[in-house]
Copies of this chain bind each other. A is one copy, B any other.
Amino acid sequence: MFYRGGQPFELLKSEEPVAPPGTGLTLGVDLGGTKIQAAVVDRDGRVVATHRTETDVDGGPSKAVADIVLCVNACVPDLSGIGAVGVGVAGQIDAATGIVRSAPNLGWHDFPLADQLEQVLGVPVVVENDVRAITWGVWRHGAGRGIDNLIVLFVGTGVGGGIVSGGQLLTGDRGVAGELGHATLIADGRLCSCGRRGCIEAYTGGLAIAARAREAIDANPDAGRGMLDAAGKGDVTAAVVSQAAADGDRLAAALMKETGEYLGSAVVGLVHALNPRRIVLGGGVVDGNPFLVDAVASAVQADAIPIFADRLDVTGSELGSQAGVIGSASLARRRLEEGSREGG
């Protein structure tokens, strides 16, 4: 159903233009610390063309803008049929102005990404936090369709989230609501990337899993031998831990089981705060360890107050690794729809 990875050119050689005017296509960009992906997405949330490249973090914002434009052009050489472009960025985004306030993985501060891209691309550009964009995509096209009270939690290198409550995507006072990775899990606990201690991300994100694994290996080198061997000359990353756990390594399995318990506690707390109908989990850590969805579902049923748990369900996102670009493209569509409503 989706075109995955960097082979979009077949599509571009077809007789029909990829994006004829009026077809309702939008373009989504997922800008992360390791890769930049662009995709043309139709009004049903299907990816019809996609292209990706590695992120050149050292190149700074101007290199990133150039690489985004390259990816966009690789998907669709003529933007005349694309109504708008959405960009999801891991970090704090001022969505009203499209300014990236802070993106630690990229090392950016206060960069006017939407303005810069609009000047080059010549179409409206919206910029949003990556997981807030994903939340919109999950709500429109994924496992959150039709759900008025929804929490989306994506666990990758870091942890991000989004909240739909009463049929509205919450933005908060500055447009940054839903930073669930930095809700409290263990007050004054492990140091987090945000500088505070005890955040959900500091226990369950990919970087945290790797750090917990290193500590466990240091504490018990014999038990850690399997993960060290699997890592070879590289670091023990969350991916190494996941794979080792899947291969039956006992210490790795214990680490991932503990990750499920942390994630379960985190979600139960969010459930009590927000009383959602559905929890959607995604991101690399969850996609690579689908048992985590069941672990969280079990924690909710065991520990949440009954009226909160009775008809709550916990599920994967259905959007897989395309969640970022589908989310960004669906945010671009929202901008178009709001624009046309405002225009009459």
Contacts and interface: CB of A to CB of B under 8 A. Distances in A.
A18 interface: no
A58 interface: no
Interface stretch (A39-47, A236-244, A308-316): A308-316
| Assembly stoichiometry (copies) | 2
Given A170-B165, A266-B187, A92 B272 contact: no
B187 A262 contact: yes
Contacts of A307: 92, 94, 101-102, 174, 176
A259 to B, nearest CB: 12
Contacts of A312: 173
B265 A177 contact: no
A178 B272 CA distance: 7
Interface in A236-289: 261-262, 265-266, 268-270, 272-277
B310 A174 contact: yes
Interface residues of A, number: 59
Contacts of A184: 183-185, 265-266, 268-269
Interface string A206-249: 00000000000000000000000000000000000000000000
A268 B148 CA distance: 26
A167 to B, nearest CB: 9
A196 interface: yes
Contact of A172 (B165, B176, B183): B165
A184 B148 CA distance: 23
A166 B163 contact: no
Interface in A140-190: 148-149, 161, 163, 165-166, 168, 170-189
A194 interface: yes
